[in-house]
Structure formats: C-alpha cells, structure tokens
Amino acid sequence: MTDNPELSPTDWVREQTKRIIENGTTDGVEVLDRPIVLFTTTGAKSGKKRYVPLMRVEENGKYAMVASKGGDPQHPSWYHNVKAHPQVTAQDGDKVVELTAREIEGAEREHWWKLAVEAYPPYAEYQTKTDRLIPVFVLE
C-alpha cells in the first residue's frame, strides 16, 4: 500500500497495523482469535490515505466494512471517508485488492449483518449499545 497512509491514533490499533506492514500480511494478526483485513481509505476532507483494520467479513471475494465503533452513538471517522471516497484498498493476508464500497440496506444488509456477527459475535452486542443502525458497506 502506497502514499504512506496515516496510522491510527489509538495505540493498540496502531501497533496492530505496524505489525501487518512489517510482516506484509494480516495473517497472525487477530482480535479475539478472529482474522482482520487492513483497509486503506481516503480522508473525506484531508484527502490523506488512512489505514483501517477491521474484522474479516468476506463472501465470494466481496468484503464488508462494519461501522460499529464498539456501539458508540457516533459513526467511526472512516465511515465519512468511505462515503466521500468509496475506492478502498483491502489487504487480506498478503493479497491486496482495489474495491469500491457501497452502503447497503434492507435484505442485503441483513444478509451481511448475519455474516458479520458470525465472523465477530461482539457486533450483536454493539448494536444493543446504540440507537443508530450500525452501517455496513459491501466492497466489490
């Protein structure tokens, strides 16, 4: 991934991302023993590239980005970046692909939400902690 994307200001996320960059793969970097994907987004206002490690939710070569922010009442900052600039890079293992994100609704969202909760069960709890419907993007 190029253009020297910015690392997260959150310590554990920054360390996780550095490990992926150093090793050249997301393999072995997990949260609660579950795999992650390293996404690279473009800042909505700044235009700067930013790393976003998220839980791996994948089906048939498509990925989901779940904007949970741990059940916070506000969307994560990357949500606004992806809405403004839907071209996203995804690194899964050592495979890097360019994808286009779109926010999903209805039955499609329900399908991907189920996959997301299967991939990372805490998402279900996060939804109970917030009044907002946690957004889901599909990247293809």
pLDDT digits (tens, 9 = 90+) for 61-70: 999 999 999 9
Domain-located, residue 31: yes
pLDDT for 76-131, tens place per residue? Answer: 999 999 999 999 999 999 999 999 999 999 999 999 999 999 999 999 999 999 99
The CATH number given to whatever domain includes residue 134 is 2.30.110.10
Q: Report the run of H or E that residue 50 belongs to, with start and end.
A: strand 49-55
Q: Does residue 45 lie in a domain region?
A: yes
Residue 3 lies inside a defined structural domain of this protein: no
Banded pLDDT at 3 (limits 50, 70, 90):
low
Residue 83 located in a structural domain: yes
- Write down how long the chain is: 140
Q: Give the number of domains in the chain.
A: 1
CA 63, 99, 83, 6 dihedral sign is positive
Residue 95 lies inside a defined structural domain of this protein: yes
- Structural domain includes residue 2: no
Amino acid (one-letter) located at 72 = D
Nearest-angstrom CA–CA distance, 7 and 9 = 7
**What is the extent of the structural domain holding 34?**
11-139
Give tens-digit pLDDT for 19-77.
999 999 998 888 878 899 999 999 999 999 999 999 999 999 999 999 999 999 999 99
Whether 2 shows a pLDDT value over 60: the answer reads no
Determine, yes or no, domain membership for 6: no
pTM of the model: 0.91
Cβ atoms 30, 93 nearer than 8 A: no
User: For residue 1, what pLDDT is reported?
Assistant: 43
Q: Is residue 42 part of a domain?
A: yes
